[in-house]
Amino acid sequence: MKEFEIAPDPDATGLSEVASGIDQNGNPVDLPVVVEKPLTLFLNKQEVVTMMTIGDYAEYLAIGYLLNQNMLQADAEISGVDVDEDLGVVVVRTPEETNFEDKLRKKTQTSGCAQGTVFGDVMEKFDDIKLDDDAKIRTSWIYSLSKKINSSPSLYLKTGAIHGCVLCEEDRPLVYMEDVGRHNAIDKIAGFMWVNKIGPEKKIFYTTGRLTSEMVIKTVQMQIPILISRSGFTAWGVDLACKAGLTLIGRAKGKRFQCLSGMDRLIFDADPNKIEDEDKKFQRKAAR
C-alpha cells in the first residue's frame, strides 16, 4: 500500500461548519467546528447501537465496530451493507442470524444493558490473543510517523475537536481516519482492513488520543502489536497493554516519547538530539 491510501479531507462537504462568536477581547470570530451526526447500527434486524460520528466511511465503521465488539468473527461472511444517510442508519447483513443478535435481544429485554454482555465477551477473547513477539519498532520510524501525520491536513488541525487514528507500516502512514470519538476512528480502520483483506502483520497503530483501556483493547483485538499516541496514558490502559504484551508508546511529540509496555520491541536507531522538536504552531492548533 502507498502512503496515505486514505487521508483526511478537512474541506469535504458536511464534515465541518462555521460558528460565529466572540473571543477573549470581545472581538467577533468565525471558527470551523466539527459536525456530528447520529448513526444507528443494525446487525440484520437487531438494533445494536447509536453512535455519534462525522458520518464518513459508515460501512467501514459499522463492520469495524462489530468486529471489535466480537459480534462478528474475522472469518464471518457479510452479504451486504446498506447505508441510509438521510435516516442515519447502517445495516450489516449476514446470510444467517448471529448468536449476538439473540444475546443482545435477550439482554435488552431483561436489563436494558446489552453492552455489558458484549464487554464480557470481548475481554474473554482479549485474554486469548497472542501478539507477534518478533515485531519491532525503530525510533526513527516513530519520529518519521509523528512528523508525517501531524503535518498532514486534517480536521484535527482545522477544528481541534476530533480524534485521528492511523494504520502504519514501518515509517509509512497508510490509512488515516478521523472521528469525534477515537473508538470510531479505530473501528473505521478495522473495517477497512477486513474489507480489503489486510492483515495485522508488520503493522503499527497511531492515535492522536489518549491511550485508554478501550484503545488498548481494540488494538489487541485487531492483533496489531504496537500502539503509539501523541497523548498520554491511563493506568488501566497500561495494565492491559502489559498483560497483552502490547508495545505502548505515548507522548510522542517531536523528539520525545515514553514507552510503558513492550519495551523489548524498540530499536534505538535515531539520535533524539538530531531530531527537530515539534513545531509550536502545530502545538497551538492541536490544543484547540
Tell me the pLDDT tens digit for each residue of 236-280: 999 999 999 999 999 999 999 999 999 999 999 999 999 888 765
| pLDDT tens per residue, range 122-180 | 677 788 899 999 999 999 999 999 999 999 999 989 998 899 999 999 999 999 999 99
Which DSSP letter does residue 223 get? T
- Number of Cβ atoms within 10 Å of the Cβ of 176: 24
pLDDT at 1 (0 to 100) = 87
pLDDT at 90 (0 to 100) = 98
- Number of Cβ atoms within 10 Å of the Cβ of 247: 24
Q: What is the pTM of this model?
A: 0.89
Q: Which of 13, 41, 3 is nearest to 174 (CA)?
A: 3
pLDDT at 110 (0 to 100) = 41
Across the chain, the runs of DSSP E, i.e. the strands, are 16-22, 28-34, 37-43, 46-53, 80-84, 89-93, 137-138, 163-169, 172-179, 203-207, 226-229, 247-253, 256-261, 266-267
| pLDDT tens per residue, range 13-65 | 999 999 999 999 999 999 999 999 999 999 999 999 999 999 999 999 999 99
Rounded CA separation 222/144 (Å): 23
Residue with the three cell numbers 507522548: 251
Given a cut of 70, whether residue 115 has pLDDT beyond it is no
Q: Which of 187, 168, 49, 63 is nearest to 118 (CA)?
A: 49
Kindly report the CA angle at 251 between 137 and 268, in degrees rounded to 5? 30
Exposure string of 8-35, with b = 16+ CB inside 10 Å and e = fewer, is bebeeeebbeeeeeeeeeeeeeebbebe
In the predicted model, what is the mean pLDDT of residues 109-130? 60
pLDDT at 17 (0 to 100) = 95
Stretch (H or E) spanning 143: helix 139-150
% of the chain beyond a pLDDT of 90 = 77
Domains defined along the chain, listed by start: 37-125 (3.10.20.10), 137-286 (3.40.140.10)
Given a cut of 70, whether residue 104 has pLDDT beyond it is no
Rounded CA separation 223/203 (Å): 9
